[in-house]
Structure formats: C-alpha cells, structure tokens
Structure 1
Amino acid sequence: MFRSYLRLLLFTFGLLVGVQVPGLINAYGQRVEAHLLESREGLKGFNQTAQRFFNGDLQALVKHYRASDDPVFNSDANSIESLQIRNALFEHEWAMLQGSWATRTWHVLVAADPALREETLKGYSYQILLAPEAVAWGLGCAMLLALLVESALLLIGWVILGGRRKPVAPSWR
C-alpha cells in the first residue's frame, strides 16, 4: 500500500512540475518582448539621426562620433554600441521564440540567455494552467518521472538481490 501511495505522490509531483513548463516559456517570452521593445525605443533617436545624416547606417554614426575629439561624442559612441549589442541579443532571443513549441522549449530550458532566464525565474510565480499544452506537459512529465524513479528503484533492488527474488514461504495448506 505504501508503494502505491509513493507512486501516486511521485506522479502528482511530476504533474505539477510539468504544468509549469508552458507558463515558464510564456513568462520568458513576455520578458524578452518587453526588453526588445525597450531596446528598440532606446535606439530610436539614434536611428533617426543615422537616417537623416548617414542613410540609416548606425555604424557610420558611431564612426562619426568616434572621430570627434569631443569626449562626450566618444562616450555616446560607446553608449550606442552597447545599445546595439543589447538589441541584437533581444532580437536573437525573440527570433528563437518564434519557432515550434519544441524549439521554444529547448531554447528556454537549455540555450536561453542566462541573465534573462535568471531574471524570469526570479519573477516567475508558480501557476497551474489548464491549457491543453500544460496538461500534456504535466502528464508527460508525471509519467516520465514515475517511470524513471520506479525503474531505478527496481534496478537497485535487482542488483542488491543478485537478480533473483526472495523465495516464497510455503503455504500452511
């Protein structure tokens, strides 16, 4: 009986962990989108200046600022490059989140920007979504976790017992 409850507890834990995956991916996507919009807004004025004087070439604007002897312009060149690098990061992250569910999941769980992932995890509030993908993730994780843990325990028991079962005590009949 204890073993049945343990299986049920393990399955429930896997289910609760699994339903978090779509919510986490959604939260990461929202965070990336917000940062992307912010970085685009930060570059907007410089892009307008580059459009007006350098045919839209932001790098030419940076070179022009760097060629100046004025330390303020040199500082602005560094600021523009920093904004460009940050914007490129968010553009890349956003592009990765536009793929299939498998691509998004793999990217967020394995290949996401560590700072953005950490920021998302710190701000993430656990939730139970009843969307079809959350239910599918929950059941999938629950089955996988239950299968892996029970298989590992059975393998350990098999190794300890030397691959054989304990003999059954003779019946009183």
Structure 2
Amino acid sequence: MLRSYLRLALFALGLLIGVQVPGFIDDYGKRVEAHRLESELGLKGFRDTARRFFKADLQALVAHYRVSDDPVMRSDAQSVGELVERSALLEQEWQAMQGPWYGQVWHLTVTADRAMLEETFAAYRYQVLLAPEAIAWGISSALLLAWSIEGLLLMLAWVFGAGQDRRARERHWR
C-alpha cells in the first residue's frame, strides 16, 4: 500500500514539474521579445542615419564612426557596435522562439542566451496552466519520472537480491 502511495506521489511530482515547462517557455519568449523591442527602440535613431547615408547598413555606420577624426565619434563606435550586436543576438533568440515547441525546448536546453535564461529563472513564478500543451507535458513527464524511478529501484532490488525467496538464494549460492 505504501508503495502505491509513493508511486502516486512520484507521478504527481512529475505532473507538477511537467506543467511548468510551457509556462517557462512562454515567459522566456516574452522576455526575449521585450528585450528585442527595447533594443530596436534604442537603435531607431542609428537605423534612420544608416538608412539615409549607408543604405540601411548599420555595420557601415559603425565602421564610419570608427575611422572618424572626431574622438567622440570613435568612442561612440564601440557603444553603437555593441548595440548592433545585441540587437542581432536578440533577433536570433526571437526567431528561435517562433519555431515549433520541440525547437523551442531544444533551443532553451542547448543554445539559449544564458543571461536571459537566468533572468527568466529568477523572475519565474510557478503556475499551473491548463492549456493542452501543459497537460501533455505534465502527463509525459509524470510517466517518464515514475517509470524511470521505479525502474531504477527495481533494478537495484534485483542487483541486491531483494524480493527473491530463500530457496532461490540457496540455489544460486550452491
């Protein structure tokens, strides 16, 4: 009976962990979009200048700033260059979060921007979504967790001989 309750508790834990995945993915996507929009707003004036004088090429604008005789312009070249790089990174992150759910999960686990991932973890509030994808994630992770833990425990029990009767042990040790 205790074993059944432990299985049920393990299943519930897996379910609760699994329903967090879509919420976290959504929060990360919103964070990326907010940073991207803020970045675009910060580059708006520079984009206008690049559009007028450099055929909308921000890299050409930065290169022009770098070779300028004016020390202030040369100093600003580094700042503008960093803004352009950040904007490109945020655009890549945003594009990755526009794909299918499995692509988003892969991106978050392998190539996501670590700083934004940590920001999202720090600000994340646990939630129970009742959206179909959250339910699917919850049930899948509950089954996976329950099966893997129970399989591990059964394998350990088998290795250490738990559950064998006395006659079977005597037969193996003769």
The TM-score with structure 1 as length reference comes to 0.92
The equivalent of 1:166 in structure 2 is 165
Q: Which runs of 5+ in 1 are unaligned?
A: 169-173
The equivalent of 1:45 in structure 2 is 45
Report the Cα distance in structure 2 between the residues aligned to 1:89 and 1:109, rounded to whole angstroms: 17
The equivalent of 1:74 in structure 2 is 74
- Deviation of 1:145 after TM superposition, in Å, equals 0.2
Report if aligned partners of 2:58, 2:84 keep a CA contact under 8 Å in 1.
Answer: no
Report the Cα distance in structure 2 between the residues aligned to 1:54 and 1:137, rounded to whole angstroms: 48
- Deviation of 1:58 after TM superposition, in Å, equals 1.6
Q: Which runs of 5+ in 2 are unaligned?
A: 168-174
Could you tell me the percent identity over the aligned residues? 58
Range that drifts further, 41-50 or 150-159: 41-50
The equivalent of 1:65 in structure 2 is 65
The equivalent of 2:127 in structure 1 is 127
The TM-score with structure 2 as length reference comes to 0.91
- Deviation of 1:70 after TM superposition, in Å, equals 1.9
Report the Cα distance in structure 1 between the residues aligned to 2:64 and 2:93, rounded to whole angstroms: 30
Report if aligned partners of 2:15, 2:139 keep a CA contact under 8 Å in 1.
Answer: yes
Report the Cα distance in structure 2 between the residues aligned to 1:157 and 1:118, rounded to whole angstroms: 39
Counterpart code for 2:96: M
Structure 1 consecutive aligned stretches of length 4 or more whose deviation exceeds 6 Å: none
- Deviation of 1:3 after TM superposition, in Å, equals 0.6
1:55-113 deviation digits (Å, cap 9, x = unpaired): 22222211221112222101111111100110111111111111111111111233211
* RMSD after superposition: 1.4
Report the Cα distance in structure 2 between the residues aligned to 1:15 and 1:75, rounded to whole angstroms: 53
